[in-house]
Structure 1
Amino acid sequence: MQLKSEANTEHRKRFHMINRMKKAVQHADHLAVLCGSEKCDPRTKLEACAYADAMKAGLHFVQEKWKTAMELYYSASTIYTKLAGAFVDEIKEIYLQRVADLAPNIRYCEYNIGDESAIKDLRAMRLKGGLQDEWISSLDELIEKTQERQAATLSEVTWRGRTIPVKNEKVRVFLMGLKEFDTQLEQAEDVELKLSVYETLLKELIDAQQSVKEENKEDPVSLLFLLSVDGGRVPNTVFLHSYLAYLRQTNTVQRNLLLISSLLRAAVAKGENRKVTKPQDLARLYDIIIQNLTEILSLPGLQDDPVLIRDIQAETLCYKAFRCFYIGRTCEGAKRWKEALALYEQVLVYAKESQKAYENVNTPGKEKEIRALKDLVKEVDGLKYSCHASSILDMEDLSDQFTHVSVKSNKPLEERLHLYQEDSSLATKKPNFTHFPPDFQPIACKPLFFDVALSLADYPSLEDKLDQKKQGGGISSFVKGWLWGGGKK
């Protein structure tokens, strides 16, 4: 697979791949000859023949010899089909899977021979589930080659009354695939496949949009228009980019609406398919839709289109009503009754404005949106009274609860002696009687004249006491003076 992917860009790798495939065909023919002996059973012989035909067909397919490749693919597919009919259970599934693997290559060969309907079959095969990632990439490669052959005939596109020349190859391929987009959605059986179609379309659309954006950076006319303030006539490349951006935003809106419908169906489903859908998730999706519609109005070349602006504004009001509704449901679930009632009132305002705006709109989904708004108004009218009644009941429950609840105060007992409260903490080992340690309180500063008066204080004389201490020597002093010569000199 690595060699095959590198062969698309490097000729040396392509020649190397073809040589490797030729060797593989020789080995497959040699295996078929060995298995054709009498020692092998019929099943082994048929499998070897089918394998050799498939290998030869793959070589001719790479060399673009469509007719020879188609005949060999048919031969291998016929052998596998016969083998599948001779077995049951797991072995049969293996052979049928091999037949399914050969089918896209057969249809692609038929398309190159002249069958124009083969591209539809290739897209239908792409939508089917249960295929391996490697095989899905091969199908995408076949479809891309087919679209490139068809895109050579596409040179312009008309949108909002203006014809735009298309020179970019990626944009041509995308616009050719866009024609089959509605058919793919109709063929998709469930929501997952439809979402897969949308994701594939948006991915291709982003690549095409990026390619046009890079061209605009190199085009001096487009670059001058994007940098100018006054504006003027929008160049073709800029208007083509606006067209692709418009397609991106509108398809993103349709994908999000599909997600919303699937979430609502899952919420009302019964049994194991039932899923919990949060109102805030739906509100978030509607918020993304409103942002996408707002970005459309800011695209170059669409500010002077009153019809488009009127249509976008009508849709924006409609989706604002639904977003406000689900935000109100979220507040109601959180028992925020005042906010919920205010949001429900705003829903009615948005719904009335949207219905009035839809009177001047001729979009395809106009009637559907108006019916959805009328159903929304009926539901909101009932929820308003339900929310009001729930708020009253909730207040009564709270009042009953407060009658049986003893409020615990953090104030010490000495500060609430005038109040009677049941405080069980007073009978514990750490009762809250008073603040301990007590808080500091301010006191007056020491007067300044006390320090000044210290130098003027008149203390009593102690000289008489000092003289008495000197005269009282005793006999010990006399003996000490006589022995050691302490007499007067």
Structure 2
Amino acid sequence: MAAPAESMTEESPTEDVPPEKTFTVEVLQLVKEAQQQHGMRHGDFQRYRSYCSRRIRRIRKSLHFPQGSKHKVQPKKITVEKLTDVRYLHLPLFCAERAWYYAMQLKSEANTEPRKKFHMLARIKKALMYAEEFATLCASPKCDARTKLESQAYLSLLKGGLYFEQEDWKAAMEFYTKAKTIYEKLGSAFTEDIQQLYLQQVEEITPNLRYCAYNIGDQSAIDELKELRRKGGEDQLTSHLDDLLSQTREKQTATLSEVKWQGRTVPVKNEPVRIFLLNLQDSTKEIASAEGVDSKISIYESVLKQCIDAQQVLRDSLQDDQNFKLAIRGQEIDGKVSNQHYLHTYLTFIRLSKTIERNLLLIEQLKDYLPGKKVEEGHKITKPQDLVRLYDIIIQNLNEIPNLTGVEGDTSLSEETAVRVQGYKAFRSYYIAQSYLGAKKWKEAISLYERVLQNARNALKGYKSLPKVQQTQFKMEVNNLEELVRHVDGEKYSCHASSVLDINDVTDQMGAMTVNPKQPLMDRLEDYADDSSLTSKKPNLVSFPPDFESIPCRPLFFDLALNHIDLPSLDKHLEQKAAANPRGLTGFVKGWLWGGSK
């Protein structure tokens, strides 16, 4: 019996063993798709966190891998031996995603509640713990090379984010560089569709690397950061870039000690106001060199935000100024406006002016999508009413400028503003006319075109009466008005011709109509036709006698209450009658025949 056993032991190692299954997790693609579909496209951290929680719960339920019961939590650690399904790898990945974006939500709320910054750092460390667990599992032989690389890149990205928030620039730069290198290598190894995803991730990491390099001491990185800011990217670095660009100008604030506006020089004592005024000088160059309308609008939004912050600083310092309190209430001021109050007025003027410039950019962008122009598929067509609303805002901002505190008596500013208002009213009337034109209201459109020409010509005369410096400043607006006048001159006659053609079309349509003359006029009032019988001695006006029509009959009423009434008993009356005649029928007959007794 020993021989067969011995032969079996010798043959058992030569049996075929099934190869161990390897798993693939496309980490970046999986995460990006989940983010785009569940709130992160709009920056909704709460929605994405809720999705991650629901997905984790579904995975645990499908794998029969709960973390305890309803009454007690019993955490279970995922080991390499338990990796029998790829969904086990999804658990730590989405746990890390949930913790990371909870931290991003707390970061956005930490501006008003500073204590949330500590909670944010705790959640980032929690996300890092899950990412390390995910990378450890992916490093096992059960995962392929792509999964191992992507898990390392994901872990390095989260580590870089932690050190970035802790302002450990050297360590953050090290991990960001590692993640960037992995994504670049992965991008070069796949097809174009997947390659684009990796390269996009590389572009998102690049600003963080530049920022870390600058804080380490690389002064040449500031130019690249300015270029990145001009592109208007929307990521976690945007607020840091604005702060950084402000910090680089702090050294120049000593040279800016006063500003001159409308013939009055006022000192600038507040540091945030000085930084804003320096940023304002550089923003003009940034806007000129920015590519695309979206980038320029992003710069304008940043300038307006800084302007509002600078105004708030001045407002806090003017709490004891009585004239400032009266100005806020809209009351008249006694005496001269203080320097700080006048500086606040200057900042208000800047805010209104920059808002007007931003709205003009929005108008130029919307003009490309008006009806009649070639519009890209999927893009919303602009209605003329949208442009009318923007011009209304511009006119409202211009009307506020002459009423600012401290410049009420400045006639030159009032004249300049009045001329610009006249010009923008011409543009507003033009787009109102365009909306009437689309509705084929020819008379209203022609009347509005006349008003456009009147306002535009008055504005052009007003621009010519301004000083040469202001004429040069508003040369672009003059050119736009002259082009508007030329365009409306032709479009007015085109509108008139369209109205005539529209009338002819109606006449032709009515002439082609056929009406049955046997039908009475009363039944065809809506149809026009030349019926000669109507002027004869017997016109067919109405049907006489009129046709019978069915009408509803009078309703029947039934006395249903009688069935529910209890009538009084008559027994008492019957007993009284019997008592009155006790002798009955015999007595009655006797009385009748013999007279009865008296």
The TM-score bracket by the shorter chain reads: 0.5 to 0.7
CA distance in 1: counterparts of 2:289 and 2:306, whole angstroms: 20
2:414 equivalent in structure 1? 309
Contact 2:180 2:205 (8 Å CA) reproduced: yes
2:344 equivalent in structure 1? 241
Q: Is 1:382 the counterpart of 2:486 in the alignment?
A: no
Contact 1:225 1:234 (8 Å CA) reproduced: no
Superposition map of 1:266-285 within 5 A = 266-267=369-370, 268-270=372-374, 272=376, 277-285=382-390
Query: How far apart are residue 128 of structure 1 and its match?
Result: 5.1
TM score, norm. by length of structure 1: 0.68
Aligned to 2:259, what secondary structure does the other structure show? strand
Query: How far apart are residue 344 of structure 1 and its match?
Result: 3.0
1:113 equivalent in structure 2? 216
> How big is each residue's C-alpha offset from its partner over 1:185-234, in whole Å with a ceiling of 9 and x where there is no partner?
44554444444444454445445445544543454463366566244322
Q: Once the two structures are aligned, what percentage of the paired residues are identical?
A: 41
CA distance in 2: counterparts of 1:159 and 1:266, whole angstroms: 41
Letter matched to residue 263 of structure 1: L
2:476 equivalent in structure 1? 368
CA distance in 2: counterparts of 1:294 and 1:77, whole angstroms: 52
Query: How far apart are residue 63 of structure 1 and its match?
Result: 4.4
> How big is each residue's C-alpha offset from its partner over 1:89-128, in whole Å with a ceiling of 9 and x where there is no partner?
4554454344334322221122223344534534544565
Letter matched to residue 594 of structure 2: L
2:564 equivalent in structure 1? none
Contact 2:422 2:458 (8 Å CA) reproduced: yes
> How big is each residue's C-alpha offset from its partner over 1:258-299, in whole Å with a ceiling of 9 and x where there is no partner?
233233322353364697554444333323321221111211
1:324 equivalent in structure 2? 429
Query: How far apart are residue 254 of structure 1 and its match?
Result: 2.2
Query: How far apart are residue 368 of structure 1 and its match?
Result: 2.7
CA distance in 1: counterparts of 2:189 and 2:146, whole angstroms: 10
Change (3 A) 1:77 1:485: closer
Query: How far apart are residue 301 of structure 1 and its match?
Result: 2.1
Query: How far apart are residue 82 of structure 1 and its match?
Result: 3.6
Contact 1:119 1:143 (8 Å CA) reproduced: no
CA distance in 2: counterparts of 1:103 and 1:28, whole angstroms: 23
Contact 1:126 1:139 (8 Å CA) reproduced: no
CA distance in 2: counterparts of 1:68 and 1:376, whole angstroms: 59
Superposition map of 1:16-165 within 5 A = 17=121, 21=125, 24=128, 57-58=160-161, 60-89=163-192, 92-93=195-196, 95-122=198-225, 124-125=227-228, 136-150=234-248, 152-153=250-251, 154=253, 156=257, 158-160=259-261, 161-165=263-267
Aligned to 1:138, what secondary structure does the other structure show? coil
CA distance in 2: counterparts of 1:372 and 1:172, whole angstroms: 35
Aligned residues: 430
Change (3 A) 1:401 1:289: same
Letter matched to residue 255 of structure 1: R
What is the RMSD of the two structures over their aligned residues, measured on CA atoms? 4.9
1:450 equivalent in structure 2? none
Select between 342-351 and 314-323 the one with higher mean Cα deviation.
342-351
Contact 1:174 1:204 (8 Å CA) reproduced: yes
2:462 equivalent in structure 1? 357
Q: Is 1:300 the counterpart of 2:405 in the alignment?
A: yes
Letter matched to residue 238 of structure 1: H
2:17 equivalent in structure 1? none
Select between 250-259 and 228-237 the one with higher mean Cα deviation.
228-237
Change (3 A) 1:399 1:300: same
Contact 1:25 1:56 (8 Å CA) reproduced: no
Contact 2:157 2:175 (8 Å CA) reproduced: yes
> How big is each residue's C-alpha offset from its partner over 1:25-55, in whole Å with a ceiling of 9 and x where there is no partner?
89959968995x9999876776676667656
Change (3 A) 1:116 1:408: farther
CA distance in 1: counterparts of 2:290 and 2:488, whole angstroms: 34
2:65 equivalent in structure 1? none
Contact 1:341 1:387 (8 Å CA) reproduced: yes
Q: Is 1:484 the counterpart of 2:484 in the alignment?
A: no
2:393 equivalent in structure 1? 288
Change (3 A) 1:168 1:352: same
1:462 equivalent in structure 2? none
TM score, norm. by length of structure 2: 0.57
Change (3 A) 1:284 1:423: farther
CA distance in 2: counterparts of 1:223 and 1:50, whole angstroms: 57
2:73 equivalent in structure 1? none
Contact 2:259 2:266 (8 Å CA) reproduced: yes
Aligned to 1:286, what secondary structure does the other structure show? helix
Aligned to 1:266, what secondary structure does the other structure show? coil
Change (3 A) 1:303 1:69: same
Letter matched to residue 146 of structure 1: L
Higher Cα radius of gyration: 1
